[in-house]
Amino acid sequence: MHSPPFVQQRADPPTPIAYSPPPGLPPILYADDALLIVEKPSGLLSVPGRGPGHADCLLSRVHALFPDARIVHRLDMATSGLLVLARGSEMERRLSIAFQKRQVGKCYLAVVAGRPTPDQGEIRLPLITDWPNRPRQKVAPEAGKACFTEYAVVTHRPEDGTSRVALIPHTGRSHQLRVHMQAIGHPILGDELYADPANRDAAPRLLLHATRLSLEHPVSGQRLSFDSPAPF
């Protein structure tokens, strides 16, 4: 399938967002000696950010109960949903390999502006860091790294012109889902980095949630599947 036409907007440098994460230990859906499955809330960093004011994060909170927990993948601060943590260095190594080999199934739910056409499709647009506007990423057909996202419209709301879509990333580039949806003209509502002002202000948070996750247990080999309903 050919890549869809993309909308590349010239953006002003991002305004720093005040860090005020929600309190409390994120829900732990599964825990054993090898791994943890945690629900990250929107507004909480996955790992510490730059500076002492950004030390509070999902990893530091989980360490209060599981000091050996290690991050093997991340969610953007504004994204909520399912996150995997390894227990110890060997499990970190095994799970990291599983992610690198794309053996972990992931599905996200998002609310976007408009209605993507057709209702199911593929987005294959290479991405690269937009260095003058970091942490933004941008579409770069020649210099970018290959990125592949599947999407499917779940429901459409003609009354407000929005759609709920399922997104499956087959690659794991930074901000991939956010940039891909903006690039085809359907930005995710509440996106501080990529949505136009009207769609940025249409929701109190980024309406993107990691809703399904499946992987092989790094010790037993049993396939594990987890679901987390979107809170929007």
CA–CA separation, 22 vs 34, rounded Å? Answer: 27
Which tokens belong to 145? 């790294």
- Strand ranges for the chain from DSSP E: 28-31, 35-40, 69-71, 80-87, 105-113, 120-123, 127-129, 137-139, 149-157, 162-169, 208-216, 223-227
Helix count and strand count (H, E) for the chain: 4, 12
CA–CA separation, 44 vs 137, rounded Å? Answer: 21
Please tell me which residue in 12, 33, 56, 76 is annotated as part of the active site: 76
CA–CA separation, 28 vs 30, rounded Å? Answer: 6
Give 155-180 as a DSSP string: EEETTTTEEEEEEEESS--TTHHHHH
Catalytic (active site) residue 68: no
Torsional class of 8: left (φ above 0), alpha (ψ -120 to 50), beta (otherwise): beta
- CB-based contact 177:169 (threshold 8 Å): yes
- CB-based contact 120:151 (threshold 8 Å): yes
What number of other Cβ atoms are within 10 A of residue 106's Cβ? Answer: 21
Identify the residue whose tokens are 């647009």. Answer: 125
Residues annotated as catalytic are 76
